């Protein structure tokens, strides 16, 4: 069974540009989560999508946004990039049905570098 996949692996942008990161969940999973792992800040929750709806977002500015498509894949958009947005962005997916909903399985991440 294929795991969570993310693309691209690496992304280099300049300040002020927009970045788009993509995630495909494990087959059968309907929930997608996004986390940011920045140096010195640890792992922080960004967004949660379930069945096409945004269910929760972390303490990030509105320029971090995303969506979930009918096939449950997801996209994270970061507008007006700032240097401090440089980080590893991790996507995770989980089943909807309890108790399986509790385990989030992570992809390999997208390394975003803002110059």
Task: Report the interface residues with other proteins, using CB under 8 A.
Answer: 4, 6, 31, 33, 35, 42-43, 45, 48, 55-56, 58, 90, 92, 94, 99, 101-109, 111
Residue 16 C-beta: closest distance to other proteins, Å: 27
Place of tokens 């979930």: 68
Measured distance CA(87)–CA(37) in Å, rounded: 6
CB of 114 to other proteins, least distance (A): 18
Strand order in the sheet with 64-68: 5-7, 19-24, 74-78, 64-68
**Cβ 4 to other proteins shortest distance, Å:** 8
């Amino acid at each position: 069974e294929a795991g969570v996949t993310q693309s691209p692996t690496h992304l280099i942008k300049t300040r002020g540009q927009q970045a788009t990161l993509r995630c495909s969940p494990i087959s059968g999973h309907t929930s997608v989560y996004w986390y940011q792992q920045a140096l010195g800040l640890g792992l922080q929750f960004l967004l949660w999508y379930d069945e096409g709806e945004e269910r929760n977002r972390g303490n990030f500015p509105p320029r971090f946004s995303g969506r979930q498509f009918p096939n449950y894949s997801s996209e994270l958009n970061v507008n007006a990039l700032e240097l401090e947005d440089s980080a590893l962005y991790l996507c995770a997916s989980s089943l909807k049905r309890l108790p399986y909903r509790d385990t989030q399985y992570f992809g390999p991440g997208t390394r975003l570098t803002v110059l």
